[in-house]
Chain A
């Protein structure tokens, strides 16, 4: 048969590789910055864009979608061409994909900085960007499938299966979780409310970990590990099982983020069972990776690329062991809402994703520039710094999480909380936060080593933009009548796509549908009423400032939580919450019963400078809320959007909503002005017309949370003096 000559496109790989490095550094810097804010709250600069609540989403989005995203594309564009023995389907689509993705990242960073957010973790981007993501993802899909279809290799190698499953599942997750009602260009409300929103969100959130941070990188592992070790994967059979079992099981595990919450019990149990079963395929994959190196450990000693891969795969094994453990209800009861979870995700993030990316870059750049790596020694130093960094990062956080959780749950002999002041449990673990940020710094310094090393490598090499290759074209398929079904699918990317979709959709559907059918069954608690317009505006400020990154609004039915916060949370309380704000981490106390707990004046003083009210608090200051006028032009639109979502405001209420808003704002500020400390603060800081400021809306919201079922406690507005 005639062999054909063709060229691999290395330019697009190089572009994505550079983007990986750039965004990696940016994302890690943002991470370090938020880490420092834990013990030095002044590092928020008292400026809205750089407070924890806004910077943390910038960090998470940057490392997930910018760093790992670009890493995934780098590896896919490199390996897919070679595994298919074909150039990418279209150079133009490659370029659109690259520039499209980078513009999404820039838009994401800007909008999050300015507080435009949906308030749903890892899906914070507003609707116009969501649409852009969908378009670019489709471009990527066409380009990938085009390449697979014109391939010159009959079998589709297992790495590509992982890419296909990633593509289709991310598309599904993104679309379902992003359904929202736009209020204007920069603001939308989640279509779902409360319990349903939470379930969809964590079905998404967990599977973003699974299908954005795990499956594509496993695909990369199945390509780059054999490449770097120059030997085939340990067991191809095992890799097939790994693939199907993993994608099947992963999709069910989401509810383990919502144990003990108001989510139905059966859904919680389902999440637990499937999470535990996940150990099997995950460890199958890990062992498959490590065994690939059997008898080649001498190579590992010499080759930094392999060193990175070995630690990455080990970390994959550790976090996929820990994940199922954390899904067990009794472990989860301790770990949830604490820093333990942050430690857990960073074993995955720094160890698995980071080290896979570094190993891959150290492998790729020299190859594409036709030169050896500038310095293996420097790369080895990077490896050690990174490894020590991970250890110093994770261990203190496990410690912190465990310690804090025990303190939360500790009762004295006479049955009262041992540490009733939440802050006490925070100050206890400050040293851990400091150590964690040292670990992060080491890791980051290592990454800078890499930047220098790769830069030098690029300088000394000469880039092969189009790499020549040759292969025979595929023969026309003959009859496969006697073949196994799977062998047939292995040749047909579209069938593979459809079957992957079915496999991942089953889990999603079985979980989500009943919860939606339940809608009519959610107990309509008669006393739960829609938010007043002022509270609604205040809630949107709460979302804008990212308070949910530090505060939960979900009291679990535990003795200590009920003692500390009050009556545990009920599903029926959240029916008007678009989006839900249960949160996932308690750096500050739960706020589900905050309404009426402290007087308005307390909040006024506290939000201005938490340390004036709660000594040693690590909550950021929010001085701009006292200067910004509340934008009430959006009120009618917001009310109408809520009406569309089924919130029972009366017909025509949008027109009179602002009148109600102003009345309530005046009432609150009237009360505030009778407080001497508030008056003093207003004079010193030159705050005038508080009734027009954002702070009043936020206070209105805080005073409302959880009150509907609290039995109508009177707001202790101004009468009570400050503690």
Chain B
């Protein structure tokens, strides 16, 4: 009587978490690359916006 058994009828349900994980991984990599590659001067300028 467990709910999962009925869910198993959707083919390959387990793919969902895997897809999610991959999307996040990719997203994170792209973002991290951007952040690391961005130049320091630009970052410093931006971080001073509240203070000017």
Contact = CB atoms under 8 A, between A and B. Distances in A.
A266 B6 CA distance: 12
A198 B4 CA distance: 16
A377 interface: no
Contacts of B13: 264, 266, 514
Contacts of A486: 31, 34, 38
B3 A155 contact: no
Interface string B6-23: 110110011011011101
A510 B15 CA distance: 11
A431 interface: no
Contacts of B14: 266
Contact of A523 (B6, B17, B34): B6
Contacts of A226: 47, 50-51
A39 interface: no
Interface in B25-52: 27-28, 31-32, 34-38, 42-51
A589 interface: no
Contact of A241 (B35, B42, B43, B44): B35
B14 to A, nearest CB: 6
Contacts of A273: 17, 21
Contacts of A506: 20, 23
Contacts of B10: 514, 517-518, 521
Interface in A232-285: 232-233, 236-237, 239-241, 244-245, 248-249, 252, 262-266, 269-270, 273-274, 277
Contact of B47 (A79, A83, A232, A522): A232
Nearest to A241: B35
A486 B31 CA distance: 9
A42 interface: no
B35 A521 contact: no
A108 interface: no
B30 to A, nearest CB: 9
Contacts of B38: 237, 484, 486-487
B22 to A, nearest CB: 11
A233 B46 CA distance: 10
Contacts of B31: 240-241, 244-245, 486
Contacts of A222: 50
Nearest to A261: B3
Give the interface size class of chain B: 35 or more
A503 interface: yes
A521 B9 contact: yes
A127 to B, nearest CB: 30
A195 B46 CA distance: 46
Nearest to A226: B50
B50 A227 contact: yes
Nearest to A85: B52
A262 B3 contact: yes
A83 B38 CA distance: 21
Contacts of A79: 50
Contacts of B42: 487
Contacts of A236: 43-44, 46-47
Given A237-B43, A248-B24, A514 B35 contact: no
A237 B31 CA distance: 10
Contacts of A153: 49
A237 B1 contact: no
A227 B51 contact: yes
Contacts of B3: 195, 262-265, 522-523, 570-572
A159 interface: yes
A663 interface: no
B6 A232 contact: no
B1 A570 contact: yes
Nearest to B28: A245
Most buried by B among A231, A232, A248: A232
24 contacts: A82-B50, A155-B46, A195-B3, A227-B50, A230-B51, A236-B46, A240-B34, A244-B27, A252-B20, A263-B3, A265-B3, A266-B13, A270-B16, A270-B17, A274-B20, A485-B34, A486-B38, A487-B42, A507-B20, A521-B10, A522-B3, A522-B6, A570-B3, A572-B3
Given A159-B50, A231-B51, 17 more contacts: A79-B50, A83-B50, A195-B3, A232-B48, A232-B51, A240-B31, A241-B32, A244-B28, A264-B3, A266-B17, A273-B21, A506-B20, A506-B23, A518-B7, A522-B3, A523-B3, A570-B3
